[in-house]
Amino acid sequence: MLAPTERHPNETRAMKNNLTGERSTRRHFLASSMMRGGPLALACMMAQQADAEPKKPLMGTVGFDTKPKTPPHAPRATAMISMFMQGGPSAMDLLDPKPLLNKMHLQKFPGKIKYDNAAQASSKIFGSPWKFKKYGEHGTDVSELLPHFSTIADDALVIRSMHTGVSNHGQSIHAMNNGRPQMGRPALGSWLTYALGSESQSLPAYIAMTDPQGLPVEGVLNWSNGWLPSLYQGTVIRPVEPRILNLQPPPHLNGEIQTNYLSMLASLNQRHAERRRGEHEMQARIANYELAERMQFAADEATDLSRESQSTHEMYGINEPETKEFGERCLIARRLVERGVRFVQLFTKNQYWDHHGGIVKGLPASCRKVDKPAAALVKDLKQRGLLDTTVVHWGGEMGRLPVIQNEANIGRDHNTDGFSMWVAGGGFRAGMHGATDEFGHHAIEDTVNHFDYHATLLHLFGVDAEHLTYEQNGREQTLIDGQPAKVIEGLLA
């Protein structure tokens, strides 16, 4: 099994040679090898290489699970909650003030602009309509649109120099969530749960929480396991009841009938799996069915917000129409992490922050939905002693340009060359990091590429990004995928 720690080459090879199990016949071995695309020539080569080196005993069957695993290095973080603001929040209006924009409002931009939507493009500078103030001991700049974030400024790190360099939503989402602009790769949550498992065996290790008004761009690919075993894909918790579909059995199967049925099924599955030890997708499916049984009580309990105090509901804005829905999801996320879930990601709806037009009304509305619950999540984790070991992330796949798009209904176009997001807890320091140019177009100081961010995250979880590998089609795959990723010490406490 490939894990976050490196294995001795002989051990890895021995495990590969044992995939078929002791009871497999020669015919079954040949058939299953062809079905898995493993050419016999490759098998012969591996056998010759193994004979040329000292052999070690077989280490058992390769298998996958979500049991908790000790990382190679002492971790600072043990869980993560990511609030993904799909569409691209405007940094110069929220967290990265640019006085020159206001000074040159409606004047022609003096340099080159990398437009994504050339048809509606304008070269006129658009100054921010909103005022900024400095908060906390680090003097963090925060817009009046984020009054609640200003109250956690001393706990959060604003990264002003994020960069993916791919302006389309889908590609930049994949870069931020999956490591590369290409689709089909495992999401960050899948990598973390593959590497570290989960402290809870009654709840999924990786949970995705969707918006009631629709999925984000790229839909289910946002929490896909890619080519990792399906055990590591995200489990969706819906924003309305029932939050997990098909979890409870029908009435005629409840109680002892279900217990007897599942006991017999477990016995049959075990016998079936013993004869097909290398079929990891089957093992993952069996594990998912067993998890579903344990979730029948645990999931209902974890998502039951009636168990929380009235003051907690008020802190998250659950009693207010604008913040109720997102506040409920943030509170459930805290309850899940509290119960041992490794990774939780909350999504806003499709293009919710994609303000190509109507930004003067649209951006304040987007902020009102999420600002209070997001700040409450950080405060709540902190008061419960969980913030030190829980990474909280807030941000999207891109930012916005400093010039007007759509002069008839003013907005801002995409910008992935320099944008902002914030993180808190889990070993990140507080304050500000990096800078964009005086117009907010390009990151020019302490740039944080998406692969640097991922390498730094894994480091906080005690994992080396280059050594967290999975063999797929004969290639050692990683989250950073050969990119020149580095751990950015300036982000760490």
Confidence at residue 300, expressed as pLDDT on a 0 to 100 scale = 86
Domains, the chain, in order of start with CATH, read: 1-69 (no CATH), 79-242+306-491 (3.40.720.10), 245-302 (no CATH)
Nearest CA among 182, 176, 150, 146 for reference residue 164: 176
Tokens 């090898």, located at residue: 33
Span 81-124, pLDDT tens digits: 999 999 999 999 999 999 999 999 999 999 999 888 888 989 99
Residue 445 bridge partners (DSSP): 435
The pLDDT of residue 241: 82
Is residue 66 within 8 Å of 235, Cβ to Cβ?
A: no
**Is the distance from CB of 76 to CB of 389 less than 8 angstroms?**
yes
pLDDT of the residue at 293: 57
pLDDT class for 253, splitting at 50, 70, 90? low
Query: Are residues 352 and 85 in contact, defined by beta-carbon separation less than 8 angstroms?
Result: yes
User: Is the pLDDT reported for residue 284 higher than 60?
Assistant: yes
* Partner residues linked to 156 by β-bridges: 424
Q: Which of 45-54, 71-80, 287-296 has the lowest mean pLDDT?
A: 45-54
CA distance linking residue 474 with residue 451, whole number of Å:
23
* pLDDT, tens only, 436-492: 999 999 999 999 999 999 999 999 999 999 999 999 888 999 999 999 999 999 999
Q: CA quadruple 364, 178, 335, 238: dihedral positive or negative?
A: positive
**Separation CA 97–CA 164 (nearest Å):** 21
Spatial CA neighbour of 303 closest among 252, 344, 251: 344
- pLDDT category at 289 given cuts 50, 70, 90 is low
pTM above 0.85, yes or no: no
| Sign of the four-CA dihedral 466, 471, 475, 481 | negative
Q: Cα angle at 412 between 410 and 413, to 5 degrees?
A: 130
Amino acid 288: pLDDT:
62
CB of 436 within 8 A of CB of 444?
Answer: yes
